[in-house]
A = this chain, B = another copy of it.
Amino acid sequence: MLTKSPFLKSFFFLIIFLILPFQIFSQEEFYVMPMPREIKRLPGKFVICEDFGIKISGPISKRVIKAKEKFLSRLSRRTGIFFSLYPKKFSLNLYYRKTIKLSPFMDESYTLKINENKIEIISETDIGILRGLETFLQLLENNGKVYFFPAVEIKDYPRFPWRGLLIDVSRHFMPVEVIKRNLDAMASVKLNVLHLHLTDDQGFRIECKTFPRLHKIASDNKYYTQSQMKEIIKYADERGIRIIPEFDIPGHTTSWIVAYPGLGSLPVSYKMERFYGVKDPVLDPSKKSVYKFLDKFFREMAKLFPDPYIHIGGDEVTGKHWNENKEIQRFMKKHNIKDNKELQAYFNKKIYKILKKHHKKMIGWDEILEPYMPKDIIIQCWRGKETLYKTAKMGYYTILSNGYYLDLLLPASTHYLNDPIPENTDLTETEKGKILGGEATMWAELVNSENIDSRIWPRTAVIAERLWSSSGIKDISNMYKRLEKINLYFEDLGVCHIKNQEMMLRRLCNSKDISVLKEFIGIVEPVKYYNRHKSRPYTIFSPLSRVVDAAIPDPSFPRYFNELVNDYLKTDNKDLENKILGILTKWRKLHNKLTQLNSNSPLLKEILPLSFNLSKISELGIEAIEMKNEGKIPEQKWLSEAISILKIAKEPHAELELAVVHSIEKIIRSFFCKN
């Protein structure tokens, strides 16, 4: 009866009407990422001053104590405020009920309330406090006079429990400080899993006391000592991040076999792999000694790594060496193993038991998915999203990496829209529950410690948002707006994605003056997918110091220019036209300037074809706008030449592409090719 009352009905709609737009609007106006599940602006603001105390109410948690110190120093550094050593009042109150051991289903929720006089973060666990502090810091604003926090009320919790980043430290080793600064950045966007791809054909990167030849012979002396790894694990734990070690077996194991040839499937002499690609060396699954070795190996690693999960890789086994080994063929016949896929499954089941013996659970790439595997393993899907759904339907836990491959150098927006559970899914609620989240993957064939940050950040922040925030938060332009601000915050944590680009440009120019090259690099992108490998055979020693290595995926200026063009074509506004003409005029001159720079910088030679094409298409753009303004229609010859110049300008050079060709093309086509 109640719901039928017209009064109540209108009242209900009134409430909806008042609340809904308010919430949507308010989410957009906050420059935070990932966007909290619920956020409400309240009247007023909390102005920061010297007398700023933090009170911790909860059981002793080293994480919270460290996070408090770190928070104060970050806030102080950003605002320049000299906080009182002995504050008189507690402005920020942290309440939590318990400290926990990190685990895949830990409670990370929190509420955050800011009003004019005080701030409260309340959570069930100490991890919730860490998450809340990161949101809080992102809310910082200023009005030119003071820094302040807007009064808000936030209720927040993650959509998926498994939100990770994989760093491949095998193809290029990443020193401890690279891992640490990336852990800080991960924590700042609430990621909670760092998956370290520790072994591969090109290098074995963790000290192994049981089998020391692994790190001594098969790492080029680049590996984490166990004491360094403990340091990393502790550092991660303090930030609420789990470390998942990956030991990729049975394929991707050249390094293992170089150190211990008895592990391999062929009795030949193995050499460290210096090139990239899918290689044939593979462990011999027919030998008892191999399992004995792995048993001892995992016993040691199970002690070193505290997480309940160990990743066993399992991807890209070519099977070639298995086919070539008669013993293995005999073994397969004897055990009634039909093919290499079944042989790998046999191997996996053995490994599963070894891990279980050492109290660890198994994760692996989607190749290890077999219906007869126990249901407590996790499948990491990289080859396609279909596998993800299939896995969930088969009743296995699963995480998504397909669509989150950072090394493909795709725009942030692509990753952003890659939802593990899209709206139109046919999965049941139970099946949905099997999808634990996802992991961005930073494969390291073509990155080193100088430029890895620029591949991970800021793009990984939008993946973090996809995995934390509501599925409904997916406005691309708002995402980019927020990303621009958050992007600078990573620098406070030591991330080098911006500053190392400038350093690389100084090296390329042999000069402190990089203005010209900086303009150029802002409008080019490295070629996408695996196309860089097509241009030349890279090895682990190849220099990653060329223009393509300094260039970043998804640069912002081409996006800005494209919006400018869209607005201009919609409105024919003269101001916009002048802006566009100004930009095109600058671009037209870039080629000559770069040619000059080249006289003290041999490495710029390879980009001159690009700048030449840029000057050509900029010229076209200018001519097109002039003709339009004069009411002229170009001759067919001009037009067909223009089309062919634009086509040429789309071709990559020096593993780079111009990222503004389509915008200039749009101007020309919109003026003269309407039909």
Chain A interface residues toward B at CB < 8 A: 66, 72-73, 76-83, 85, 142-147, 175-177, 221, 225, 227, 231, 274, 484, 488, 491-492, 496, 498-500, 502-503, 506-507, 510-512, 536, 539, 541-546, 598-603, 605
Question: Contacts A227-B227, A488-B512, A543-B82 given: A600-B499 contact, CB under 8 Å?
Answer: no
| A500 contacts across to B, CB distance below 8 A | 499
Q: What is the CB-to-nearest-CB distance from A449 to chain B, in angstroms, rounded to a whole number?
A: 8
Question: Contacts A177-B175, A502-B499, A541-B83 given: A78-B507 contact, CB under 8 Å?
Answer: yes
Docked-complex contact B80 and A543, CB < 8 angstroms = yes
The 8 Å CB contact of A81, one of B80, B498, B512, B543, is: B543
Docked-complex contact A545 and B499, CB < 8 angstroms = no
The 8 Å CB contact of A503, one of B79, B81, B491, is: B491
Docked-complex contact A542 and B82, CB < 8 angstroms = yes
| A81 contacts across to B, CB distance below 8 A | 543
- Besides the contacts A73-B543, A491-B507, what 7 more A-B pairs have beta carbons closer than 8 Å? A66-B221, A76-B542, A144-B600, A177-B177, A488-B507, A499-B502, A499-B503
Stoichiometry, as copies per complex, reads 2
CA distance A511 to B506 in the complex (A): 21
The 8 Å CB contact of A512, one of B221, B492, B498, is: B498
Docked-complex contact A488 and B502, CB < 8 angstroms = no
Docked-complex contact A603 and B543, CB < 8 angstroms = no
CA distance A83 to B545 in the complex (A): 13
Docked-complex contact A73 and B541, CB < 8 angstroms = yes
Docked-complex contact B601 and A142, CB < 8 angstroms = yes
Docked-complex contact B541 and A76, CB < 8 angstroms = yes
Docked-complex contact A80 and B177, CB < 8 angstroms = no
Question: Contacts A77-B545, A541-B83 given: A602-B147 contact, CB under 8 Å?
Answer: yes
| A144 contacts across to B, CB distance below 8 A | 598-602
Q: What is the CB-to-nearest-CB distance from A480 to chain B, in angstroms, rounded to a whole number?
A: 14
Q: What is the CB-to-nearest-CB distance from A538 to chain B, in angstroms, rounded to a whole number?
A: 8
Chain A to chain B: the 9 pairs with minimum beta-carbon distance, closest first:
A177-B177, A499-B499, A144-B599, A76-B543, A77-B545, A227-B227, A80-B603, A491-B503, A499-B503
| A225 contacts across to B, CB distance below 8 A | 227, 231
Docked-complex contact A142 and B602, CB < 8 angstroms = yes
Docked-complex contact B506 and A491, CB < 8 angstroms = yes
